[in-house]
């Protein structure tokens, strides 16, 4: 684990727990108590799971992408099925698909972001060493 990830692992774990709990609460909240953003339910599902997947990817190595995706998509399915048992709510395949797509996009963005980050660091180090006599 890099020193950057070690330094921020604690807060990231707390944020991940908060995201997972928030997803559960919002998924199983009765329809009468639910507040929408106005951006559309599908977009809300996509963004919520993409953000959660980004946190998971930050905490885990690239070797665990498939396991992470299986767990996140399984969690989305569980919450969507449970939503069907909530007053005034229905389970929707569309919502599940957007949740799964958000999880996939968020988790697959991490290797790309890491690659970009390390390219920037490598260029910075190369430029700094070229300036040294």
Task: Give the range of the structural domain holding residue 36, as residue numbers without chain letter.
Answer: 3-131
Q: What is the predicted pLDDT for the residue at 69?
A: 97
Average pLDDT over residues 64-78: 96
Spatial CB neighbours of 20, under 8 Å, sequence gap ≥ 6: 52, 75
Task: Please write the tens of the pLDDT for every residue from 22-69.
Answer: 999 999 998 788 788 888 889 999 999 999 999 999 888 888 999 999
Query: How open is the CA angle 65-70-74, to the nearest 5 degrees?
Result: 150
pTM for this entry? 0.84
88: confidence class by pLDDT, cuts 50, 70, 90: confident
SS (H, E, C) 3-47: HHHHHHHHHHHHHHHHHHHHHHHHHHCCHHHCCCCCCCHHHHHHH
4: confidence class by pLDDT, cuts 50, 70, 90: low
Tell me: pLDDT of 1 over 60. no
Domains in the chain, number: 1
The torsion of the CA quartet 102, 69, 12, 110, rounded to 10 degrees, works out to -70
Q: What is the predicted pLDDT for the residue at 133?
A: 66
Sign of the dihedral through C-alpha 30, 34, 39, 44: negative
2: confidence class by pLDDT, cuts 50, 70, 90: low
């Amino acid at each position: 684990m890099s020193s950057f990830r070690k330094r921020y692992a604690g807060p990231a774990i707390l944020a991940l727990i908060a995201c997972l709990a928030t997803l559960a609460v919002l998924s199983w909240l009765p329809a009468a108590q639910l507040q929408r953003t106005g951006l559309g339910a599908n977009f809300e599902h996509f963004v919520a799971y993409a953000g959660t997947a980004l946190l998971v990817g930050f905490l885990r190595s690239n070797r665990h992408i498939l396991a992470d995706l299986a767990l996140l998509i399984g969690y989305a399915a569980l919450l969507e099925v449970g939503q069907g048992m909530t007053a005034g709510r229905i389970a929707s395949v569309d919502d599940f698909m957007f949740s799964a797509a958000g999880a996939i996009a968020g988790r697959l963005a991490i290797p790309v972001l890491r690659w970009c980050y390390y390219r920037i660091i490598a260029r910075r180090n190369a430029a700094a060493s070229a300036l040294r006599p």
